[in-house]
Structure 1
């Protein structure tokens, strides 16, 4: 699946940090190769729980209540409601941006050169 993740992120965050995008791509890894796992179904409660537990809590280290984290996920989903499909990289970027955690995702600048 060839996708321009940075272009999709920039639809919502015009000055998106390429290092943070590259960090999310590294974090998602092989799951981005299949369309189904590269997209997020926010209507699926289990999917929302996975985003909350695996990305927000484990990756970003957030300790907010589940209700607050779920509210943020839904708010970002509402921001993206113009897109029928929600790209995982874009959703994760917007969530990290919302919580001020983009620097936690930034890795080497070499990875950013690839996007």
Structure 2
């Protein structure tokens, strides 16, 4: 099993255990592939949900640029919902899981062909 497959398994377990969802492994695999080498970097692979700069970066670089959404209060609400779903007290929020949940929330699976 490749290290990417191992990460996909780990992220799938996170989604199932902490979010109570059965993940779409195909979409999750495409999200992980889209993150490239960031998933292998300990710092880049996690999200600091309490850091306003990081949250703003996710909004601008992922939601607006990657998913093609328009900036507005609905993006902030979606981020809050996903952080709550994943668990605010959870200190290790994996970027791939956050991006997967946001992609599903907005129904933008097509952003990952």
2:21 matched residue in structure 1: 14
Question: Which of the residues 97, 100, 112 maps onto 2:107?
Answer: 100
The offset of 1:88, in angstroms, is: 0.6
- Check the 8 A contact 2:46/2:92 in 1, yes or no: yes
Question: Over aligned residues, Cα RMSD in angstroms?
Answer: 1.9
Aligned to 2:46: 39
Q: 1:56 aligns with which of 58, 63, 72?
A: 63
Q: Which of 43, 57, 76 is the aligned partner of 1:70? A: 76
Report the number of matched residues.
Answer: 105
* Cα offset, 1:84, TM superposition: 2.6
- Structure 2: give runs of 5+ residues left out of the alignment: none
CA contact (8 A) 2:28 2:100 kept: yes
Structure 1 gap ranges (5+):
108-115
C-alpha distance in 2 between matches for 1:83 and 1:45? 17
* Aligned equivalent of 2:35: 28
Deviation at 1:79, TM superposition (A): 1.0
Question: Structure 2 length as normaliser, TM-score?
Answer: 0.80
Mapped to 2, the partners of 1:86 and 1:13 lie a distance apart of 15
Structure 1 segments, 4+ long, off by >4 Å, are none
Check the 8 A contact 1:76/1:91 in 2, yes or no: yes
1:112 maps to what in 2?
A: none
Q: Distance in 1 between matches of 2:84 and 2:47?
A: 13
